[in-house]
Amino acid sequence: MSVPRLRITKVKKCFGATQALRDVSLVVGSGEVHALIGENGAGKSTLMKILSAAHSADGGEIQLDGQVFAPATPLEARSAGVAMIYQELSLVPHLSVEENILLGREPQRLGWIDRSERRRLALAALAKLNQQHLPLKVPVNQLSLAQQQMVEIARALVGSPRVLIMDEPTSSLTQVDTKNLFEVILRLRDSGVSIIYISHFLEECLELASHYTVLRDGESVGMGRMTREALPGIMRLLVGRELSEVYPRVPHSVGATLLEVTQLRGVLKPRNVSFQLRAGEILGIAGIIGAGRTETLRALFGLDPQIGGEVKLRGSSCNRATPRAWLQKRVGYLSENRKEEGLMLGRSISDNLLLSNLHPCATGGFINRRRQDRLASSWMSTLGVKARNSAQNISDLSGGNQQKVALGRLLHHDAEILLLDEPTRGIDVGSKAQIYQIIGQLAAAGKSVIFISSYLPELLGVCDTIGVMCRGTIRTIRPAPEWTEHSIIATAIGQDEN
């Protein structure tokens, strides 16, 4: 057998007392898409960050095309042909789209930037993703999360990487964009690039990858060819049960209208969004990138200005209510952007979990530490958050576990209406099922949920009703059983019968 493109042997990594990687081995051939699978906190991102030199390994060896590969800086890794798309968005907010795409490898003459060449290269990279319409000169902090994700992917495509690492690239993409991305991945594979693909969507892995490796608790516990037959085995390694339980149906009934939104308008988006949310209803919202789903919730929840329209909660008007007012009415919001907005990354898990509702652990304005720790710990075990204890800094947690804490906050707040923006982003298969279960139980208890997701199967599997957004407005709302993946996509891109 020829030398593999990448060989990782017995790599170890500790963060303080946390042994993130105990013993990981992985082999990737050239022109191969390799799926890296594992539950939240298994160590996938850590392993990949070692490859791209964002972290350094404590032990083990990595070989790239037969040569020992031990990059000291991300620059070295990149020059050696290892490109990476990070799980948490990493863009430079004040620089423009083209500047971000070519950051670190600007075309230059004697230190001066060659602008037309930069434009050409950036457009070429975006064109591979069918995103050449993105505004090149706009600072990326004015783009939506999904658009930013596209910019980040485009950046990894610049130059000619030998190994391309993608850490959950689709977690904030819609189906259409995912399709585009897959085409690119397959094209790159065919040109000989090795791709390590991390995703909690096993179907994606099945569609793309030829081989897989499963990580658990920092060890590689299984590997092989990625076939449909291998799935049950993988699932057992991951969650220890069968795939069929993924969308548990909790029986619940839908009651009277709670929240009524008419002609809601924001600065650019949403444009005249109207919908109703009834007690015990799970309302899904689908749409492509930039459709304005996030904007709708933000304008509703008072995070962005509401320019027009009418919002009524239980018949009384709530226009331009502040987040605090909504929370007092037991309406909670889960942000899609946990890094910038969702979490306080410098603080402990318990601070993050309990912040919106400190009453249960406070007397007379002062907090009782013991009660606080007990409360936080109980939520952590309910949600299966993998961490040392409730005092651990949340930035030490894996992406999925952070997401669980963010969701846990709404549960702790005991919200009647939950506005969830991509709640399962980056969550592993096992925990996803658990979250669907929780959402179902909430509905059964008469609470209402708005569920934004870019992953249509989960919308179809969990929601009672689904609205599809297109260009800032909700095109159609129908009961979930009346939708199919195909009809949702058609509506979302404006190609339905209307």
Ligand X SMILES: Nc1ncnc2c1ncn2[C@@H]1O[C@H](COP(=O)(O)OP(=O)(O)OP(=O)(O)O)[C@@H](O)[C@H]1O
> In this chain, which residue has its C-beta nearest to ligand X?
144
**The entry of Mg ion, ligand X, another protein, none that residue 408 binds, CB within 5 to 8 Å by partner kind:** none
Considering only 14-22, 95-103, 181-189, 229-237, which stretch makes contact with ligand X by CB under 6 A? Answer: 14-22
Which pair of structure tokens corresponds to residue 374?
A: 């007990």
Considering only 57-65, 67-75, 294-302, 383-391, which stretch makes contact with Mg ion by CB under 5 A? Answer: 294-302
Which pair of structure tokens corresponds to residue 129?
A: 């993703």
Q: Pick from 4, 13, 82, 87: which binds Mg ion (CB under 5 A)?
A: 87
Least Å from the CB of residue 174 to ligand X: 6
Beta bridge partners, 195, equal 33, 164
Please answer whether residues 106 and 98 qualify as being in contact, where contact means their C-beta atoms are separated by less than 8 angstroms. no
294 in contact with Mg ion (CB under 5 A)? yes
Please answer whether residues 460 and 486 qualify as being in contact, where contact means their C-beta atoms are separated by less than 8 angstroms. no
Which pair of structure tokens corresponds to residue 325?
A: 């007012």
Residues in 270-289 at the binding interface with another protein, rule: CB under 8 A? none
91 in contact with another protein (CB under 8 A)? yes
170 in contact with Mg ion (CB under 5 A)? no
Q: Pick from 232, 245, 249, 267: which binds another protein (CB under 8 A)?
A: 267
434 in contact with ligand X (CB under 6 A)? no
**The entry of Mg ion, ligand X, another protein, none that residue 353 binds, CB within 5 to 8 Å by partner kind:** none
42 in contact with ligand X (CB under 6 A)? yes
Q: Pick from 188, 380, 397, 468: which binds ligand X (CB under 6 A)?
A: 397
In the complex with ligand X, which residue's Cβ is closer, 41 or 423? 41
**The entry of ligand X, Mg ion, another protein, none that residue 324 binds, CB within 5 to 8 Å by partner kind:** another protein
In the complex with another protein, which residue's Cβ is closer, 73 or 319? 73
Residues in 263-302 at the binding interface with ligand X, rule: CB under 6 A? 268-269, 287, 289-295
Which pair of structure tokens corresponds to residue 127?
A: 């064109």
148 in contact with Mg ion (CB under 5 A)? no
In the complex with another protein, which residue's Cβ is closer, 367 or 445? 367
Amino acid at 36: L
Least Å from the CB of residue 341 to another protein: 4
Which pair of structure tokens corresponds to residue 92?
A: 């430079």
399 in contact with Mg ion (CB under 5 A)? yes
Draw the binding track, 443-482, toward ligand X (x: CB under 6 A; -: no contact).
-----------x----------------------------
Neighbours of 497 (CB within 10 A): 7
Considering only 12-20, 56-64, 178-186, 354-362, which stretch makes contact with ligand X by CB under 6 A? Answer: 12-20
State how far the Cα of 45 lies from the Cα of 59, in Å rounded to an integer. Answer: 17
In the complex with ligand X, which residue's Cβ is closer, 334 or 361? 334
222 in contact with ligand X (CB under 6 A)? no
380 in contact with another protein (CB under 8 A)? no
44 in contact with ligand X (CB under 6 A)? yes
SS in 3 state form for the chain?
CCCCCEEEEEEEEEECCEEEEEEEEEEECCCCEEEEEECCCCCHHHHHHHHCCCCCCCEEEEEECCEECCCCCHHHHHHCCEEEECCCCCCCCCCEHHHHHCCCCCCEECCEECHHHHHHHHHHHHHHCCCCCCCCCCEHHHCCHHHHHHHHHHHHHCCCCCEEEEECCCCCCCHHHHHHHHHHHHHHHHCCCEEEEECCCHHHHHHHCCEEEEEECCEEEEEEECCHHHHHHHHHHHCCCCHHHHCCCCCCCCCCEEEEEEEEECCCCCCCEEEEEECCCEEEEEECCCCCHHHHHHHHCCCCCCCEEEEEECCEECCCCCHHHHHHCCEEEECCCHHHHHCCCCCEHHHHHHCCCCHHHEECCEECHHHHHHHHHHHHHHHCCCCCCCCCEHHHCCHHHHHHHHHHHHHHHCCCEEEEECCCCCCCHHHHHHHHHHHHHHHHCCCEEEEECCCHHHHHHHCCEEEEEECCEEEEEEEHHHCCHHHHHHHHCCCCCC
**The entry of another protein, Mg ion, ligand X, none that residue 99 binds, CB within 5 to 8 Å by partner kind:** another protein
Number of Cα atoms under 13 Å in the Cβ half of residue 252: 26
Q: Pick from 10, 12, 18, 74: which binds ligand X (CB under 6 A)?
A: 18
Residues in 22-41 at the binding interface with ligand X, rule: CB under 6 A? 38, 40-41
48 φ/ψ sector (left φ>0, alpha ψ -120 to 50, else beta): alpha
Residues in 360-389 at the binding interface with ligand X, rule: CB under 6 A? 386
In the complex with ligand X, which residue's Cβ is closer, 186 or 477? 477
Neighbours of 455 (CB within 10 A): 22
In the complex with ligand X, which residue's Cβ is closer, 305 or 360? 305
Residues in 290-319 at the binding interface with another protein, rule: CB under 8 A? 290, 303
Considering only 85-93, 221-229, 241-249, 452-460, which stretch makes contact with another protein by CB under 8 A? Answer: 85-93
Least Å from the CB of residue 266 to ligand X: 9
Residues in 49-78 at the binding interface with ligand X, rule: CB under 6 A? none
Residues in 111-140 at the binding interface with another protein, rule: CB under 8 A? 111-113, 115, 130, 132-135, 137-139
In the complex with ligand X, which residue's Cβ is closer, 107 or 384? 384
* Chain contacts with ligand X (rule: CB under 6 A): 15, 18, 20, 38, 40-46, 87, 142-146, 268-269, 287, 289-295, 336, 386, 396-401, 426, 428, 454
